[in-house]
Amino acid sequence: MISKTSDLDIYLGHGIVMWFAWGVLGFVQILSNRYLRQHWKYAMITHRISATLILFISVSSSIFVISNNGWKLDFHTHGIFGAFASTCSVFIMVGGFLCLTLIQKLSWGMGPMIKMIKIGHKTFGYVLITAA
């Protein structure tokens, strides 16, 4: 049996880690694309590393809290939003990877399909960072 103090420590740790992921690293995501454009290579490295960390922290922290809860999902606002945000972070990362791959590796340029994926990736990212 886990004591209430231990439960509070777990949820506090979860909150701190998630704040770091979405508050600090989410801000790094915005800064890397907005203010490091003139250094595109370094901007993309920074953007990829921070995105990977956000994804890893979100998914692993969610799994840790759910496992601590006896593998039961809590159907309240925070639990539902947390599951949604973790799932969305996977889709955002896939969208960014797809966009970069189509532009760079396949040399598609900036056609209408790429622009739609890029706008979707950017908009979805801003919405999720703002909501988190």
Q: Which residue has the higher pLDDT, 106 or 61?
A: 61
At 12, list the tokens.
Answer: 């506090």
| Domain span at 27 | 4-131
Confidence of residue 1 (pLDDT cuts 50, 70, 90): very low
Provide the number of structural domains found in the chain.
1
pLDDT at res. 110: 66
Tell me the pLDDT tens digit for each residue of 110-129.
677 777 877 888 888 888 88
Is it the case that residue 4 has pLDDT exceeding 60?
no
Q: What is the pTM of this model?
A: 0.77
